[in-house]
């Protein structure tokens, strides 16, 4: 098993606008598997076949941003590893150039030896999620968090185009094979069709009800497909009209046409690959081999192979066109690890896995650390928290179970009253309670012995996003995807409510003195509210697309936010940014843990398996 826990102590001078960060690595990355040339990516996020070699592909590992160049015949062989800090990859049509993009809005070019070519392309603000070369190799299209599509003229960069039309970050782009058009999709739920000159040909196309994750042109350039979070794939003509009924089967992350024009493939959240014959699209073949979401998919140029990457199970699979496995999958590790909580006093980390277990990882010093594995749930351990006063751990899983554990590994109690996966846990050791919420909107309160105190079904009409407990006011606060923040007393009676018509609160934080309530809105704005009156004191536009976590220090009043793009930002309570943004993680910075001195804090990475320790020691 491969275990990556990297703890960085970084000192930020918050009084200097152009502050820099210095890092001392206290625990270096530990690789237990020495067979580095045969070990696959931990979290594959993008795949691209070499157009000149059907047995060769590039894959982005978002856990560390590397691009692996792999070949395969009887087995996989890694030819090269490029430390690109990348989130996307594309081959030029002649296979001689590899393009990569990162969360900072930079595009780099590499040769097949892994050497950097020229200077990076700059222009996007924030992460670039997708890249695509034009078939003639003269242009490169990029999809940005800044809501724009850019067409880079590789022969004359000054003639590059910026395409504006999406109202949120752009997820995917695709050139038409005849070199004339570009399709783009966004989390705004829309699809756009552009000419290569930068003019809008059709759109916004509004068939999807949620995010649109992927677009792909048919080989004849007469139609294109889009895949949405609403669970449907839609086919469009060049006038923006639907040409068939929506195709169901799974919530698709990637959709791709075979270069030969006979197949349409999609990979799904449920771990499946679906293949459809173009002549009979509603007749689908579904293959489920991955454990969890498949967010990387590509056809080989000769149409013989399909490659898929398991986002959670850390495997690359090569499929034959008939749906059979071409060879044994490329694996990175037996199970996937995710940092969930940290105990400052004991220097212990809880790691959740995809096999239903969790690990208690104890740090003694730089070279001495150990871990214990707990078989806990039937599938993913989604949330876990230390109960420090009781020397216990509470976990919640995809199986809907809440479990209490001793740190020696024995299960103290559990309940299975949730019927969908656990999405959030709130703990009050002072009030002797644990509150859990699930994706179905149910809220359940238990005491620290595991006794159920109340169950509120449909506390929210959609998934519960976050739960906190206000000890002094004796309140439970829950936020949901239904746009509501609800306030409950300890008997389960609702006493107040906030409603957001066009957004929702995906994260909350209550200051240690319980005076300030931070509400992180899905649109990237942070509300600072008086916790007593609930009046808004100020609103900060963090420009982080989505705020994954926030905290406020009562020692200096500083506010910390982390983002989906891996950025860490510091603010005063008037909304002024202090210092520069720091890219603390490659990909999603999932949680901020404010330490007891309220000067230091930790951030955890959802993809990169890192825990960073930041120290804010030099400030006014």
Residue 581 domain-assigned (yes or no): yes
Same domain? For 550 and 604 the reply is yes
Domain residues for the domain of 521 are 1-32+506-620
In angstroms, rounded to a whole number, what is the distance separating the alpha carbons of residues 247 and 116?
41
The token pair that represents 572 in the structure block: 């005063």
Same domain? For 101 and 143 the reply is no
Instruction: Tell me if residue 47 falls in helix, strand or coil.
Output: strand
In angstroms, rounded to a whole number, what is the distance separating the alpha carbons of residues 315 and 2?
13
Same domain? For 151 and 242 the reply is yes
Whole-angstrom CA distances from 612 to 353, 444, 618 are: 20, 32, 18
- What is the number of domains present in the chain? 3
Residue 393 domain-assigned (yes or no): no
In angstroms, rounded to a whole number, what is the distance separating the alpha carbons of residues 356 and 352?
8
Domain end position, chosen among 302, 332, 362: 332
Residues 6+ apart with CB under 8 A from 501: 483
Residue 577 domain-assigned (yes or no): yes
The token pair that represents 374 in the structure block: 């707990």
Q: Nearest to residue 321, comparing CAs of 302, 339, 336? A: 302
In angstroms, rounded to a whole number, what is the distance separating the alpha carbons of residues 483 and 64?
34
Find out whether 109 and 122 touch, Cβ atoms under 8 Å: no
In terms of DSSP bridges, do strands 536-541 and 525-530 run parallel, antiparallel, or are they unpaired? Answer: antiparallel
DSSP state of 69: E
Same domain? For 50 and 109 the reply is yes
In angstroms, rounded to a whole number, what is the distance separating the alpha carbons of residues 620 and 618?
7
Find out whether 182 and 202 touch, Cβ atoms under 8 Å: no
Instruction: State the pTM of this model.
Output: 0.67
Same domain? For 28 and 39 the reply is no
Same domain? For 604 and 521 the reply is yes
The token pair that represents 156 in the structure block: 């004359």
The token pair that represents 192 in the structure block: 């756009």
Residue 404 domain-assigned (yes or no): no
The secondary structure of 419-448, three-state, reads CCCEEEEEEECCCCEEEEEECCCCEEEEEC
Residue 528 domain-assigned (yes or no): yes
The token pair that represents 531 in the structure block: 């916790």
In angstroms, rounded to a whole number, what is the distance separating the alpha carbons of residues 402 and 467?
15
Same domain? For 3 and 58 the reply is no
Q: Which CATH number is 549's domain given? A: 2.130.10.10
In angstroms, rounded to a whole number, what is the distance separating the alpha carbons of residues 289 and 310?
9
Whole-angstrom CA distances from 539 to 126, 306, 345, 346, 524 are: 21, 47, 34, 36, 10
CA-CA-CA-CA dihedral for 250, 256, 257, 262, to nearest 10: -40
Find out whether 123 and 104 touch, Cβ atoms under 8 Å: no
Domain end position, chosen among 217, 248, 279: 248
Find out whether 407 and 391 touch, Cβ atoms under 8 Å: yes
Length of the chain measured in residues: 620
Same domain? For 225 and 134 the reply is yes
Q: Nearest to residue 543, comparing CAs of 184, 144, 225, 201? A: 144
In angstroms, rounded to a whole number, what is the distance separating the alpha carbons of residues 87 and 405?
37
Instruction: Tell me if residue 141 falls in helix, strand or coil.
Output: strand
In angstroms, rounded to a whole number, what is the distance separating the alpha carbons of residues 310 and 65?
16
Domain end position, chosen among 309, 332, 355: 332
Same domain? For 142 and 240 the reply is yes
Q: Nearest to residue 100, comparing CAs of 144, 146, 131? A: 131
Find out whether 439 and 464 touch, Cβ atoms under 8 Å: yes
Residue 180 domain-assigned (yes or no): yes
Residue 155 domain-assigned (yes or no): yes
Q: What is the pLDDT of residues 530-573, one digit of tens each?
A: 999 999 999 999 988 789 999 999 998 999 999 887 889 999 99
Find out whether 589 and 548 touch, Cβ atoms under 8 Å: yes
Q: Nearest to residue 115, comparing CAs of 92, 89, 97, 140? A: 97
Instruction: Tell me if residue 514 falls in helix, strand or coil.
Output: coil
In 3-state terms the chain splits into helix, strand, coil percentages (rounded to 5) of: 0, 55, 45
Q: Nearest to residue 256, comparing CAs of 269, 271, 267, 244? A: 267
Residue 239 domain-assigned (yes or no): yes
Same domain? For 95 and 157 the reply is no
Cβ neighbour number for residue 399 with a 10 Å cutoff: 19
In angstroms, rounded to a whole number, what is the distance separating the alpha carbons of residues 336 and 349?
15
In angstroms, rounded to a whole number, what is the distance separating the alpha carbons of residues 76 and 70?
7
Find out whether 253 and 227 touch, Cβ atoms under 8 Å: yes
Q: In the prediction, which pLDDT does 35 show? A: 33
Across the chain, which distance is largest between two alpha carbons, in Å? 69
Instruction: Tell me if residue 515 falls in helix, strand or coil.
Output: coil
Residues 6+ apart with CB under 8 A from 231: 248, 249, 250, 251, 252
Please return the burial class of 375, using the count of CB atoms within 10 Å of its CB with bins 0-12, 13-18 and 19+: exposed
Instruction: Tell me if residue 620 falls in helix, strand or coil.
Output: coil
Mean pLDDT for back-to-back runs of 10 residues, the chain (620 residues): 36 30 31 43 90 95 91 91 94 97 95 94 93 96 96 92 94 96 95 95 90 95 94 94 91 93 91 92 90 90 93 88 91 72 89 82 64 80 91 93 89 93 95 95 94 96 96 96 96 96 93 96 93 96 89 93 88 91 80 92 80 73
Find out whether 143 and 172 touch, Cβ atoms under 8 Å: yes
Same domain? For 84 and 4 the reply is no
Region of 466 please: left (phi>0), alpha (psi -120 to 50) or beta. Answer: beta
In angstroms, rounded to a whole number, what is the distance separating the alpha carbons of residues 182 and 328?
36
Place of tokens 């509120």: 456
Same domain? For 555 and 543 the reply is yes
In angstroms, rounded to a whole number, what is the distance separating the alpha carbons of residues 508 and 512?
13
């Amino acid at each position: 098993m491969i275990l990556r826990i990297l703890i960085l102590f970084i000192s930020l001078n918050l009084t200097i606008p152009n502050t820099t960060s210095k890092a001392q690595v206290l625990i270096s990355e530990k690789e237990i598997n020495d067979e580095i040339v045969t070990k696959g990516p931990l979290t594959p996020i993008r795949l691209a076949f070499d157009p000149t070699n059907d047995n060769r592909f590039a894959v982005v590992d978002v856990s560390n941003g590397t691009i692996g160049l792999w070949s395969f015949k009887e087995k996989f062989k890694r030819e090269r590893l490029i430390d690109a800090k990348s989130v996307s990859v594309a081959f030029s049509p002649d296979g001689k150039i590899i393009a990569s993009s990162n969360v900072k809005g930079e595009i780099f070019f590499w040769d097949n030896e892994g050497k950097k070519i020229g200077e990076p392309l700059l222009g996007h603000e924030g992460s670039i999620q997708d890249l695509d070369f034009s078939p003639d190799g003269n242009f490169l299209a990029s999809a940005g968090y800044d809501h724009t599509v850019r067409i880079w003229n590789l022969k004359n960069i000054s003639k590059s185009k910026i395409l504006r039309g999406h109202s949120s970050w752009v997820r995917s782009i695709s050139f038409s094979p005849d070199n004339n058009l570009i399709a783009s999709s966004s989390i705004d739920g829309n699809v756009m069709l552009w000419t290569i000159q930068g003019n809008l040909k059709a759109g916004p196309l509004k068939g999807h009800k949620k995010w649109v994750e992927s677009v792909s042109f048919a080989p004849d350039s007469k139609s294109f497909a889009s895949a949405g979070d609403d669970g449907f794939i839609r086919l469009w003509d060049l006038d923006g009209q639907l040409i068939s009924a929506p195709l169901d089967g799974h919530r698709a992350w990637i959709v791709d046409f075979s270069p030969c024009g006979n197949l349409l493939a999609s990979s799904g959240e449920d771990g499946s690959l679906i293949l459809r014959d173009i002549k009979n699209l509603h007749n689908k073949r579904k293959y489920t081999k991955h454990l969890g979401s498949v967010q990387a998919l590509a056809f080989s140029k000769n149409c013989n192979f399909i490659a898929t990457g398991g986002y959670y199970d850390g495997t690359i699979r090569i499929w034959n066109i008939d749906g059979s496995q071409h060879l044994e999958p490329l694996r990175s590790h037996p199970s996937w690890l995710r940092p969930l909580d940290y105990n400052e006093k004991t220097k212990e980390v809880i790691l959740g896995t995809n096999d239903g277990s969790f690990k208690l990882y104890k740090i003694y010093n730089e070279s001495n650390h150990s871990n214990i594995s707990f078989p806990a749930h039937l599938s993913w351990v989604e949330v876990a928290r230390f109960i420090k006063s009781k020397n216990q751990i509470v976990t919640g899983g995809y199986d809907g179970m809440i479990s209490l554990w001793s740190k020696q590994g024995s299960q103290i109690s559990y309940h299975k009253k949730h019927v969908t996966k656990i999405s959030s846990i709130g703990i009050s050791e002072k009030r002797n309670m644990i509150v859990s919420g699930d994706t179905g909107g149910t809220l359940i309160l238990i005491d620290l012995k595991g006794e159920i105190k109340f169950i509120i079904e449909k506390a929210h009409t959609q998934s519960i996003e976050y739960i906190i407990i206000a000890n002094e006011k004796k309140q439970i606060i829950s936020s949901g995807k239904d746009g509501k923040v609800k306030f409950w007393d300890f008997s389960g009676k609702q006493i107040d409510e906030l409603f957001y018509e066009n957004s929702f609160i995906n994260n909350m934080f209550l200051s240690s003195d319980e005076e300030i309530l931070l509400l992180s809105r899905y649109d990237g704005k942070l509300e600072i509210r008086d916790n007593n009156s609930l009046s808004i004191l100020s609103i900060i536009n963090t420009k982080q697309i989505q705020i994954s976590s926030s905290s406020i220090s009562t020692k200096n009043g500083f506010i910390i936010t982390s983002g989906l793009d891996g950025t860490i930002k510091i603010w005063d309570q008037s909304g002024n940014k202090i210092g520069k943004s720091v890219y603390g993680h490659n990909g999603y910075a999932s949680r901020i843990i404010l330490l007891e001195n309220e000067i230091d804090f930790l951030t955890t990475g959802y993809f990169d398996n890192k825990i960073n320790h930041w120290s804010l020691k030099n400030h006014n």
